[in-house]
Amino acid sequence: MQAIERQARVVRVHQICARLQFGDAVTNDVLNIHRALRERGLESHIYAHHTDRHYAGINEGEKHYARKFLKDKKSLLIYHYSVYNDNYRLYQESKNRKVLIYHNITPPHFFKPYNLELAEICRKGRELLPALRQCDLALGDTDYNRQELLQAGFNPATTAVLPIFVDFKKMEKEDSYLSERLRTDTVNILFLGRMVPNKRIEDLIAFFCYYHNQVNAASRLWVVGSSLLSNYNLKLLQLVKRSGLSGKVSFPGGARGVTDEELVSYFRRAHIFMTMSEHEGFCVPLVESMYHSLPIFAYAEAAIPETLGGCGILFNRKVFPTIAAAVEEVLSNKSLREDIIQRQKRRLKEFSPEVVEETLWSYIIPLLE
């Protein structure tokens, strides 16, 4: 602590990211690091290329950074890389000591059938990664992300893992009105995340169609999250209608997403969390599900097995009858369900803000000296 306070008089910490957006996991990570830095007495600043109305007062602007701090050798720059953005040039040109945090970028093939522009942005983003190697430290949210850094030519000796900060305080207060509306005798299956193709929401709907028609008609599926691609959304809506699931599958969120209080209500009224996603660099909803004691069912792909760390229920193949049987067993077997929840709670401790913050300091302190 004394070392941090001594260096705080001569070192500023800057964070640059592509966007500050309500409900976005990378945004929350930026804000929590900002909070942690300031609580330790360090001068901290944030610069984003795009900002929504929620965070307009926090973004100090890339031009301000370029004009005042780009050549400052006594500053530390943390660059959050999650999507291709021209502000990578600030990172390359900066004379600050540099930390790259790689949140992963979705492979372009997921977007090609729906939006060629987004697919191209993802392609450029992934192909740029080797050009970002010149830094003092490169961090991945998971070792899965760190391995991509190594494949891009980063020095293994200066790479490490820093989990995303998850703000547990935001997961306490529910929307009481919504909670009452959601109170029914049905089995509620929850998915949380952006409605994008790599999440494979169509597979989730197909599973639910089997589960609802063949196993338990008293069931609902909530796909909670912000929408991004109108043609992908239309595909999902058509699938719901074609499957005869209108009124049984809902998409809370839309363009605006849901509030923190509304999200808590969905977690507290759900019985399981399920994801069929085929690409995740971390998957914050898994940690949120652990916090809310919600049994997790997840497709074992990308960073998902690592984030779960041996808890939850993973499946390597999307065999719907097998998954449905496992869901029924967890719902009906109280001791099994409690065992799953307790294992998830133990894993949750490794993502506590205190643990993540101490990991952050172990990396930051040597760069302040």
Tell me, what's the pLDDT at 255? 64
Comparing C-alpha atoms, which of 318, 327, 294 is closest to residue 308? Answer: 294
d(CA 67, CA 70): 7
Comparing C-alpha atoms, which of 3, 79, 73 is closest to residue 369? Answer: 3
Homologous superfamily, domain 2-162:
Glycogen Phosphorylase B; (3.40.50.2000)
Residue by residue, pLDDT tens for the chain (369 residues) are 444 444 444 479 999 999 999 888 999 999 999 999 999 999 999 999 999 888 989 999 999 999 999 999 999 999 999 999 999 999 999 999 999 999 999 999 999 999 999 999 999 999 999 999 999 999 999 999 999 999 999 999 999 999 999 989 889 999 999 999 999 899 999 999 999 999 999 999 999 999 999 999 999 999 998 888 999 999 999 999 999 999 999 999 876 778 999 999 999 999 999 999 999 999 999 999 999 999 999 999 999 999 999 999 999 999 999 999 999 999 999 999 999 999 999 999 999 999 999 999 999 999 987
Tell me, what's the pLDDT at 217? 97
- 0.85 exceeded by the pTM? yes
Fold of 169-350: Rossmann fold (3.40.50)
Comparing C-alpha atoms, which of 213, 230, 238, 224 is closest to residue 292? Answer: 224
- The answer to whether 212 and 249 have CB atoms below 8 angstroms apart is no
**Token digits for 200?**
């494979």
Tell me, what's the pLDDT at 10? 43
DSSP code of 217?
S
The answer to whether domain 2-162 and domain 169-350 are alike in fold is yes
CA distances for 15 relative to 21, 103, 319, angstroms: 15, 14, 43
- The answer to whether 196 and 307 have CB atoms below 8 angstroms apart is no
Chain-centroid distance of CA 107 in Å reads 16
Residue spans of the domains in the chain: they are 2-162, 169-350
- The answer to whether 99 and 136 have CB atoms below 8 angstroms apart is yes
